[in-house]
């Protein structure tokens, strides 16, 4: 069981400002989480292989097949201010 002082200590370490209501709420919620972890510790895991995922993963990406890209002139045709075959954008300093 987590007590109020432990919640306040963790909040201080985390540099969190908690209201009295938040402290009371977190005291109960953190205690509930730790109770659940204690229940998990009771599960027999003898012979269970460590895994990073509960289901096998497969690469779901498509094959990397080279295809012709969009022509530069076509891509730049919709640009408001193209310059020397590139997109011209405002300087960040100009906006500040």
pTM: 0.47
User: Domain range for residue 35?
Assistant: 4-41
CATH number at residue 17: 1.10.20
Judge whether 27 lies within some domain.
yes
Q: Is the pLDDT reported for residue 26 higher than 90?
A: yes
Containing H/E element for 94? Answer: helix 92-95
Q: Label residue 48 by pLDDT band (50, 70, 90).
A: confident
Across the range 15-40, mean pLDDT stands at 95
Least confident of 2-6, 42-46, 48-52, 57-61: 57-61
* Cβ 23 vs Cβ 7: under 8 Å: yes
Who contacts 7 (Cβ-Cβ below 8 Å, separation ≥6)? 18, 23, 26, 27, 30
- Domains: count for the chain: 1
């Amino acid at each position: 069981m987590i007590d109020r002082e432990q919640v306040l200590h963790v909040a201080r370490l985390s540099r969190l400002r908690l209201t009295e209501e938040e402290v009371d709420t977190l005291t109960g919620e953190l205690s509930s989480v730790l109770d659940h972890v204690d229940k998990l510790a009771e599960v027999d895991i003898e012979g269970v292989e460590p895994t990073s995922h509960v289901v096998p993963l497969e690469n779901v990406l498509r094959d990397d097949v080279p295809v012709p890209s969009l022509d530069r002139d076509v891509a730049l045709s919709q640009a408001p201010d193209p310059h020397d075959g590139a997109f011209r954008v405002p300087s960040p300093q100009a906006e500040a």
